[in-house]
Amino acid sequence: MLMPSVAQAQPEEANARALLESLDVRSFDEKARAIDVIVQSDDPRARYWLQSLLDGRLQRSDDGRFVVVLENRGRDWPVEDALTGEPLGEMSRRDLDRIGINNALRNQLRSAIAVVDLYSPNLDLRRASAERLLGEVDADLASPLAKVIEGEQDAQVRSRLVQALAIHRLEQGEVAAVGDLQGSLHPRVRVALNRAASGAIEGSAANGDDAVLADAARSALNDIEQLLKVNRAVETLYFGLSLGSVLVLAAIGLAITFGVMGVINMAHGELIMLGAYTTWAVQQLLPGQPGLALVLSVPAGFLVAALAGIAIERGVIQFLKGRPLETLLATFGISLILQQLVRTVISPQNRTVISPEWMSGSIAINDALSLTLNRLVVIGFALLVFAGLMLIMRRTRLGLEVRAVTQNRAMARSMGIRATRVDILTFALGSGVAGLAGVALSQLTNVGPNLGQNYIIDSFMVVVFGGVGNLWGTLVAGLSLGVINQVLEPWAGAVLAKIIVLVFIILFIQKRPRGLFPQKGRAAEG
């Protein structure tokens, strides 16, 4: 019963040995042909052999066996049989002869390995392999690649392989290949099209004689350039929204306290800083667990900033009500104290907060557009905080009392609302939200004593532009100013962009002194 299978195995092993024998020749051209034969052999060990050859680990022993070196350190190297994978113990390096390759063969081997990987059941491996083949296909790989395309089921792999083959056909002067590359945003596709188009202009021998090919390539490049502009606009919008979401988080607490108490809190930026340092401190307590540390930092950052806000309100602001200039100066002094306190207790140097894995990397929308996950999470977090504040303001007793005090403080007092209690809770809530802004900012930038100063002026602009005390106004104004800043910065620079925005807000306030969404009530009208 065993004889047929043994007899069948012998010619298979003989064929496999013949494949390896074809690599052990002096001529590099013959080795190149042997590599192509191995790729088309469908032998399951083909990738193993090719990778070992590329790494310089495929060698031949003095007794004629082909072996793969497992570790090439010391005098004796552990090896295994290249045909069976059986460990052969250690062999002296003097008893082994490496099968040599040159740079051309190395490039061929990388492409050949990519082709072999295309037959893998692992989808990620096939996608990575298809990606590597862009711009690397030659005449020898074109035929096996066409066969792979016919049997490939995954659309992404198929698309990449079609493009890889089309680049090769384009280099051979086929005009029809331009159609397969039309609309592709991949950099290597654009390089190939640029080469075809510029070759016609320069009159190169490869592409310059074919004006039709050059015109088709230029037309495809023009279409791709339009698509790139759209993608750049989307990317600018995305970065603008992420910046705007940070402004919303930074300003929304300020909008609440400013709207209810009429207090210009210049220490609001330092409350943001405290939230960021809380995130850093929690991460120090939980080393190696940045995800858990970030989750715990959300309530911790809110609580620390809220308690600091209560201390500021009880210690200073309650004694300066009705005196806005003195309140401004006092809170500015508090901001300087908090900055110096952090410098003394922690360090004047910036601290880095490690982002968890689920916030690292990006989502690739296409070859020209990817959305970074940390900014996407910050946008979602800002919207979540906004929704939570809206629920508090619309569905809770505190929210009802806050709206009553905001609209008419004297009337609210006459109705039995304890305005002092509302002031404390409102300031704590606004300060806590500033702490949440610091938690979010820690994922986008370094944490330092001056962190809050970068956002305090922008926060006031958002509050004034959106309408004092109006949450919807803060959301719209923050996102709008974020996008406007991001649009202006590339051509105007960061400083000039802020000046332009400031001038725009000044002119806007001249027309609408109460902002986009004016506050309602007798106090607002007065």
**338 to each of 235, 429, 454, how far by Cα in Å?**
37, 19, 15
Mean pLDDT of the chain: 84
Q: Provide mean pLDDT across the span 460-484.
A: 85
Q: Could you give the 3-state DSSP secondary structure of residue 66?
A: strand
Alpha-carbon dihedral sign for residues 28, 32, 33, 39: positive
> Which residue, chain included where needed, has tokens 């090896």?
79
**342 to each of 36, 160, 275, 335, 377, how far by Cα in Å?**
66, 53, 12, 11, 28
99-145 pLDDT per residue, tens:
888 888 888 888 788 878 887 888 888 888 888 888 888 777 787 78
Q: Please give the Cα distance from 60 to 69 (Å, whole number).
A: 10
- Please report the pLDDT score of residue 33 as a whole number: 87
Sequence-distant (≥ 6) Cβ neighbours of residue 110 within 8 angstroms:
54, 132, 136
Is residue 301 pLDDT above 90, yes or no? yes
- Counting every residue written for the chain, the total comes to 526
Q: Please give the Cα distance from 407 to 420 (Å, whole number).
A: 15
Q: Please give the Cα distance from 97 to 87 (Å, whole number).
A: 18
Q: What percent of the chain has pLDDT over 90?
A: 21
Q: Please give the Cα distance from 162 to 181 (Å, whole number).
A: 8
- Please report the pLDDT score of residue 362 as a whole number: 87
Q: From its phi and psi, is residue 513 left (phi > 0), alpha (psi between -120 and 50) or beta?
A: alpha
Q: Which residue has the higher pLDDT, 208 or 473?
A: 473
396-408 pLDDT per residue, tens:
888 788 777 777 7
Q: Could you give the 3-state DSSP secondary structure of residue 57?
A: coil
Is residue 57 pLDDT above 70, yes or no? yes
Q: Could you give the 3-state DSSP secondary structure of residue 123?
A: helix
Is residue 173 pLDDT above 60, yes or no? yes
362-381 pLDDT per residue, tens:
888 888 888 999 999 999 99
Q: How confident is the model at residue 523 (pLDDT cuts 50, 70, 90)?
A: very low
> Which residue, chain included where needed, has tokens 């051209």?
29
> Which residue, chain included where needed, has tokens 């403080």?
409
Token pair for 273 = 């800083």
- Please report the pLDDT score of residue 511 as a whole number: 82
Instruction: Give burial (CB, 10 Å; 0-12/13-18/19+) of 338.
Output: buried
- The whole-model pTM stands at 0.76
- Please report the pLDDT score of residue 8 as a whole number: 39
6-30 pLDDT per residue, tens:
333 445 678 888 888 888 888 888 8
225-262 pLDDT per residue, tens:
999 999 999 999 999 999 899 899 888 888 888 777 77
Cα–Cα nearest to 263, from 426, 433, 475:
426
Q: Which residue has the higher pLDDT, 297 or 406?
A: 297
430-458 pLDDT per residue, tens:
899 999 999 999 988 889 898 888 888 88
For 379, how many CA atoms within 13 A lie in the half-sphere containing its CB?
17
Cα–Cα nearest to 247, from 485, 495, 516:
485
Q: Please give the Cα distance from 59 to 101 (Å, whole number).
A: 12
Do 503 and 496 touch, CB atoms closer than 8 A?
no
User: Which domains does the chain show, CATH number per domain?
Assistant: 3-103 (no CATH), 118-209 (no CATH), 236-349+374-520 (1.10.3470)
271-292 pLDDT per residue, tens:
999 999 999 999 999 888 888 9
Token pair for 400 = 């009802």
Q: Provide mean pLDDT across the span 68-92.
A: 87
Question: In the beta sheet, which residues pair with residue 58?
Answer: 68
Q: Which residue has the higher pLDDT, 376 or 493?
A: 376
If DSSP states are collapsed to H, E and C, what string results for 323-392?
A: CHHHHHHHHHHHHHHHHHHHHHHCCCCCECCCCCHHHCCEEEEECCEEEEHHHHHHHHHHHHHHHHHHHH
Angle at 498 between CA 494 and CA 499, to 5 degrees: 120
Question: In the beta sheet, which residues pair with residue 97?
Answer: 60
Q: Please give the Cα distance from 271 to 438 (Å, whole number).
A: 8
- Please report the pLDDT score of residue 93 as a whole number: 84
Helix (H) or strand (E) run with residue 251 in it = helix 211-261
- Please report the pLDDT score of residue 258 as a whole number: 78
> Which residue, chain included where needed, has tokens 């002031």?
423
